[in-house]
Amino acid sequence: MDFRFELLRDNIEVELQNILHFLGYSMSTDILQCVVENKEGNYHRKRSLEQDYLQDVFTDDMTNKINRIRAEIYERVGLKNALQTEEF
C-alpha cells in the first residue's frame, strides 16, 4: 500500500478508509463523519512559532547569528532566497 500524507490531508475520508481496509479494520459512518468534521483538531502551531521561540529564548545577537548561518547554509545548497520566502 502506498501511503502519502498529502493524499490523507487532501481526501481524508477515502484515504482513511483505504488505510483501515489495509489494516483489516472498519469504521462506522458516524465515526468517519466525526473524523472528517474534526480533521483540523484543536492543536495547531502558529506559523510564527519558530520566530517567537527565537525571540523568547535568544538575544537579538544570537538570533542574528542563527539567521546568518541559516542563510549561508541555504545559499550553499542552492536556496538563496529561502529566508526571504520562508514563513515561520
Task: Report the pLDDT averaged over residues 5-20.
Answer: 89
Q: Please state, in angstroms and as integers, the Cα–Cα distance from residue 31 to each residue in 24, 36, 52, 63, 70, following that order.
A: 17, 9, 37, 46, 44
Q: Model's pTM, two decimal places?
A: 0.45
pLDDT in tens, 37-54: 888 776 665 555 555 665
Quote the pLDDT of residue 49: 55
Q: What is the rounded CA–CA span in Å between residue 81 and residue 57?
A: 25
Percent of the chain at pLDDT above 90? 6
Quote the pLDDT of residue 44: 60
Q: What is the rounded CA–CA span in Å between residue 16 and residue 7?
A: 10
Q: Which three cell numbers stand for residue 60?
A: 537579538
Entry field: residues in the chain: 88
Domains in the chain: boundaries: 5-37, 49-85
Quote the pLDDT of residue 88: 42
Q: What is the rounded CA–CA span in Å between residue 17 and residue 79?
A: 38
